């Protein structure tokens, strides 16, 4: 293909044929005839997971029972998975554990960060975050603030720098925004926060396994992230937590359970935290789900000889560039906007399209009625969402993306069609097919069918 002509299906197939990561797709079991662009919500099934989980259930649990704490090394599984993940987020050995949920881990590190920051400077009474941060992060911060009499200050991305004042204890950000796919400059923001005496907590839910992350290089303080998105760890897979070694032994976190004890099997009545990251463990972990997460991490091991994260990042950007270009050139005139930054250094591994769902929005082109897109759904007052119906129509065509209602950074009526591109298993022909289906859905107006407008879906 050339820089000037729109890429064709044949061009995309040629790109796949020359993709050095193409073989990685064989490490997954994908549903047939599906273009799965929702790996940023739930990653796909590693081909090895079924056998691995079956072995954990039948042999480790069923036959070896309690002995598997030693023989199957359940006892250090959170640390072993953490070590396996570490190089993908710029962390060292012994600095990461896979455990609990992202929300619970955020509570731990945010508590620890507040304990450190406020011991050094009790007048720091604020947590700063982004208004369009993932809601559970804001809820956890809200709960901590309520408990400790602190204030959660929410700002727009462009106002973060100005918000780093002397009364702020912690800056808590998600590296890649879950709605827009916009990526922060972790090193620059961390440096600005440190210059103001503020600690940083980074949520890597949409970064780990998806984009280059260098926690140590950026000098970040704390990080948490998700096991079931780009890491392909399975539904609700345990999350992870990282603490910069300079903080690891200094402070405590309140979820001080037995698995974070220095000698967990001594069963002493008083809590003595384990050295380093071990103290961020709490209770007994779900071993079956943890074992599935290991299969997801194993695929990343297989990506190392094929070029590792630089190769994954190059392919991810090529996929999202292609998607943006094809949407703009082949789906032009339907009112779609782009929420994801065009600049590579500001983009994660997803593309978010916007659609105005207000009653005054201009009509979509094609077979749409003249009274506007929202009105076409038969809902007065602009409550209808064309974007939702389009996503449902795409799902019926086995192109799986998801929908996020308009609010936060994109405004109340700017709904989001969200498409994640996991370079481990998505190919360029997938991108072409996804856009072709989107074009057909828009041109035909099939999204107006009643079955695509029932808001019972969880995606």
φ, ψ (nearest 5 deg) of residue 454: -100, 115
Catalytic residue among 28, 222, 228, 323: 228
Would the annotation count 134 as a binding residue? yes
Catalytic residue among 279, 315, 397, 418: 418
Catalytic residue among 28, 36, 107, 134: 134
Nearest distance from C-beta of residue 458 to a second copy, angstroms: 4
Do 21 and 303 form a contact (C-beta atoms < 8 A)? yes
- Residue whose structure tokens are 């009526």: 413
Nearest distance from C-beta of residue 210 to a second copy, angstroms: 17
Would the annotation count 360 as a binding residue? no
Q: Which is nearer to a second copy, 8 or 139 (CB)?
A: 139
Would the annotation count 421 as a binding residue? no
Would the annotation count 190 as a binding residue? no
Q: Which is nearer to a second copy, 8 or 71 (CB)?
A: 71
Active site residue 229: yes
Active site residue 228: yes
| SS3 label, residue 402 | strand
Nearest distance from C-beta of residue 11 to a second copy, angstroms: 28
Q: Which is nearer to a second copy, 61 or 318 (CB)?
A: 61
- H or E element at residue 107: helix 102-120
Q: Which is nearer to a second copy, 98 or 438 (CB)?
A: 98
Would the annotation count 437 as a binding residue? no
Nearest distance from C-beta of residue 426 to a second copy, angstroms: 14
Q: Which residues 6+ apart lie within 8 Å of 396 measured at CB?
A: 451, 452
Nearest distance from C-beta of residue 190 to a second copy, angstroms: 23
Q: Which is nearer to a second copy, 46 or 372 (CB)?
A: 46
Q: Using CA atoms, how far apart are residues 363 and 375, in angstroms rounded to an integer?
A: 9
Per DSSP, the residues of 9-72 read HHHHHHHHHT-TTGGGGGGEEPPTT-EE--TTTS--EETTHHHHHHHIIIIIIIITGGGHHHHT
Active site residue 418: yes
Q: Using CA atoms, how far apart are residues 241 and 238, in angstroms rounded to an integer?
A: 10
Distance, CA of 120 to chain centre: 32
Would the annotation count 55 as a binding residue? no
Strands 337-338 and 45-46: unpaired
Annotated binding site for pyridoxal 5'-phosphate: 102-103, 134-137, 174, 203, 206, 228, 258, 284
Binding-site annotation, residues: 102-103, 134-137, 174, 203, 206, 228, 258, 284
Residues designated catalytic: 134, 203, 228-229, 418
């Amino acid at each position: 293909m050339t820089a000037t002509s729109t890429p064709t299906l044949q061009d995309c197939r040629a790109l796949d044929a020359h993709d050095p990561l193409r073989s990685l797709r064989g490490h997954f079991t994908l549903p047939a005839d599906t273009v799965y662009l929702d790996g940023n919500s739930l990653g796909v099934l590693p081909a090895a997971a079924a056998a691995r989980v079956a072995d954990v259930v039948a042999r480790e649990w069923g036959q070896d029972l309690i002995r598997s704490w030693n023989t199957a090394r359940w006892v250090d599984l959170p640390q072993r998975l953490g070590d396996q993940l570490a190089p993908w987020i710029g962390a060292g050995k012994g600095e990461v554990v896979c455990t609990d949920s992202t929300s619970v881990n955020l509570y731990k590190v945010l508590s620890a960060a507040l304990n450190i920051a406020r011991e050094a400077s009790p007048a720091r009474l604020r947590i700063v975050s982004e208004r369009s941060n993932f809601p559970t992060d804001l809820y956890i911060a809200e709960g901590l603030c309520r408990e400790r009499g602190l204030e959660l200050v929410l700002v727009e991305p462009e106002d973060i720098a100005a918000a780093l004042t002397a009364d702020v204890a912690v800056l808590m950000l998600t590296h890649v925004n879950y709605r827009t796919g916009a990526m922060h400059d972790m090193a620059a923001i961390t440096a600005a926060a440190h210059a103001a005496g503020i600690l940083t907590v980074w949520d890597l839910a949409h970064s780990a396994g998806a984009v280059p992350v260098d926690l140590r290089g950026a000098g970040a303080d704390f990080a948490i992230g998700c096991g079931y998105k780009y890491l392909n760890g399975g539904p609700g897979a345990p999350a992870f937590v990282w603490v910069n070694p300079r903080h690891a032994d200094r402070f405590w976190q309140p979820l001080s359970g037995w698995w974070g004890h220095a000698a967990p099997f001594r069963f002493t009545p008083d809590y003595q935290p384990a050295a380093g990251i071990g103290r961020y463990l709490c209770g007994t972990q779900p071993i079956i789900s943890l074992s599935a997460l290991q299969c997801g991490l194993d695929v990343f091991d297989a990506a190392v000889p094929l070029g590792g994260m630089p190769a994954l990042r190059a392919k991810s950007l090529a996929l999202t560039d292609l998607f943006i270009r094809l949407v703009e050139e082949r789906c032009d005139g339907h009112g779609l906007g782009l929420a994801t930054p065009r600049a590579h250094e500001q983009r994660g591994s997803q593309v978010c399209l916007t659609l105005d769902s207000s009653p005054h929005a201009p009509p979509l082109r094609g077979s749409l009625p003249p009274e506007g897109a929202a009105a076409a759904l038969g809902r007065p007052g602009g409550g209808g969402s064309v974007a939702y119906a389009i996503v449902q129509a795409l799902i019926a065509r086995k192109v799986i993306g998801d929908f996020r209602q308009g609010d936060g950074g994109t405004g109340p009526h700017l709904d989001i069609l969200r498409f994640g591109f996991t370079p481990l298993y998505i190919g360029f022909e997938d991108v072409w097919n996804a856009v072709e289906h989107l074009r057909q859905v828009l041109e035909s107006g099939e999204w107006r069918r009643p079955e695509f407008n029932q808001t019972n879906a969880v995606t």
